[in-house]
Structure formats: C-alpha cells, structure tokens
Amino acid sequence: MKTLKYSRQREAIMNYLAQTKEHPTADTIYMNIRETYPNISLGTVYRNLNLLVEQGEIIKFSCGDGCDRFDGNADPHYHFVCKRCSKVYDLDMKIDSLNHINLIANAGFDGEVLGHSTIFYGYCPDCKTLS
Amino acid sequence: MKTLKYSRQREAIMNYLAQTKEHPTADTIYMNIRETYPNISLGTVYRNLNLLVEQGEIIKFSCGDGCDRFDGNADPHYHFVCKRCSKVYDLDMKIDSLNHINLIANAGFDGEVLGHSTIFYGYCPDCKTLS
DNA sequence: GTCCTTGCAAATAGTTTGCAAGCCG
DNA sequence: CGGCTTGCAAACTATTTGCAAGGAC
C-alpha cells in the first residue's frame, strides 16, 4: 500500500463516489467525471478506481450483471439488488448480524470457513408495489 | 423453455459436467470435450451451456474471479472458494438453513427481500494445514 | 529532476453472434 | 424437408496495459 501522489482526476472520482448512492459502474463514473474533465480517459478511471480499492478507500463488488460496481462507502455493509429496476441499495443491517452463517457453513465441511460474500435481491421500495 | 433437439455435443457437455466436481469454466469444459470431439467450437460450448442453464439442468455462478463457472448439480446448494488454491467446493448444508437471513436483511429495509446469493470462502481441507 | 500519473490507443479476456452448412425428427 | 444446431470467424463488452508526455513534490 504505497502512498499516492495527488491528482485532480483521482480527487474528482473520490468526490463523485462520495456524493452518490448509485453504486455506479466504471463507465458511469467516466461519463460523469468527463463533464468536469472532458479529457479524462477511461483507462485513468479504471487505474484510479483500482488504486482506491487497494487503499481501502472505496469498495468494488459485482452484482451479477457482469460489470463491477463501486461504492464510496468503504465501511463493510451488505447490498441489495432490485429484480425489476436493477438498482443497488445499501442495507443498514449490522455488519456482524450474519457472522453466524460461517459456522453454519462450516458444520459438516472439513475446511475452514472464514467469511462470505452475500448479495440480497427482491423488490426495492419503488418497485415493490408495481410488481 | 422450448424442447431441445438432440445433439451429441450437448450430450458430451452434460456427461462431462455430471462426472466432475470441479465447477469448471466454459473454457475448461471446451478443452475437455475437445478430446472427444476435436472440432467442437467454443461458441457451441457457450451456446449449449446457456441452453442447459435455461432448462434448469445445470447451474451457472460466478466465484468472483471474473469468469462464470458451471455445476452439473442443479439442486440449489452453496459454494465455498478456497483463498489459497481457488478450488470451488460444494457445501452440503441444508439449503434452507440460511432462509432466515432474508428476514434479517429485510429488517429496516423498506423493500421486499426475496432471496440472496452467497459464496463462502476460507481454506479448503487441503490448504487448511498449509497456510 | 525524479518518478508517479495521464491520455491515447492497442491489447486482452470472456462471451456472444451472423452465417452458411449439417443433422435431427 | 423444415428448422434447430454446428463450426468458424468476426463482433462485442469490460478491463488492462505500453508508451511518451505531463504534473506533483
């Protein structure tokens, strides 16, 4: 984890991620940053996102749609994906409320279960009444 | 879910998946089928895998390494990925033993949580003593 | 001045698709 | 035969990388 030299492109990415709850893809981030820095390249966006993930400043996760999503909230938390509108929500359940499932998984398994990665799905508040 | 016309390529794919516990990628499947049918193309493998997933005969899932993996065991079950050797194992926990986490996730969330997708990780039986 | 960072373009990996020929029913 | 299936190659999507120029410290 090396120290990073300042760059306004990286700062713009962090600022953008800090003020959105959309869990955007790299491409969405690129589109948005381009409104302020029209010359930024997609490669730079990817490079900085990966650096920020390495530093633990942001989180990268996949919600099953093939492309990675980024979250400016680096505190561990669970995500919810709407089956209808595909929007991703943060769940504010306590992060250790699912710790016990590692034990359940480890029962009858001869290895050592240390953690899990879970995504919840269903209908979001907006879509719940429609479907 | 239309009825499929017989093809020996598809049968070879099903047979291969039925006798392995490796959770292979499309490419691994391709390599193996090619020993019997040297002319089979990767496109055919992908097309058939997707058809079989649609029919519910096999399962497709991602273990976070970017490429999809396939499982000839279509009964719902959880998977475990080893942090060291990256092998994927089936867990034989009862499938409904984690049903309750949907309720935990739904508490304090205004949408409707219907399910979840979970992968466990840690050290497998072989790697547990080494790391 | 050194070395990290950028923009650009080309490369890569995994997967999908168009098309003419082949095979199942 | 009609229409699903195949092999082949090209296309596509998401992401990474090489390189010379630019910027931070």
Other CB atoms within 10 A of residue A99 CB: 11
List the pLDDT tens digit at each of the 131 positions of chain B: 678 999 999 999 999 999 999 999 999 999 999 999 999 999 999 999 999 999 999 999 998 888 999 999 999 999 999 999 999 999 999 889 999 999 999 999 999 999 999 999 999 999 998 86
What is the predicted pLDDT for the residue at A104? 97
Query: For A93-104, what is each residue's pLDDT tens digit?
Result: 988 999 999 999
**Cβ of residue A111 closer than 8 Å to a chain B Cβ:** yes
- A67 labelled as ligand-binding? no
Q: Say which nucleotide is closest to residue B25, CA to C1' distance.
A: C14
Chain B partners of A105 at a C-beta cutoff of 8 Å?
78, 80, 91, 93, 120
| Segments in chain A below pLDDT 70 | 1, 131
What is the predicted pLDDT for the residue at B131? 67
Q: How far apart (Å, rounded) are the C-alpha atoms in residues A47 and A15?
A: 16
Nearest-CA distance A36 → chain B (Å): 31
Cβ distance of A111 and B122 shorter than 8 Å: yes
Cβ distance of B123 and A114 shorter than 8 Å: yes
- B63 labelled as ligand-binding? no
Q: Say which nucleotide is closest to residue A7, CA to C1' distance.
A: C5
A5-24 residues touching B, CB cutoff 8 A = none
> What's the pTM value of the predicted model, to 2 decimals?
0.93
- A116 labelled as ligand-binding? yes
Distance B9 CA to C19 C1' (A): 20
Q: Is the C-beta atom of A11 closer than 7 angstroms to strand D?
A: no
Q: Is the dihedral of CA A43, A44, A45, A51 positive or negative?
A: positive
Give the domains, in start order, of chain A with CATH numbers: 1-74 (1.10.10.10), 76-131 (3.30.1490.190)
Other CB atoms within 10 A of residue A62 CB: 14
Other CB atoms within 10 A of residue B48 CB: 23
The residues near B124 (Cβ < 8 Å, ≥ 6 apart) are A111, B80, B82, B84, B85, B87, B89
The strand pairing partners of B71, in sequence order, are: B59
The strand pairing partners of B46, in sequence order, are: none
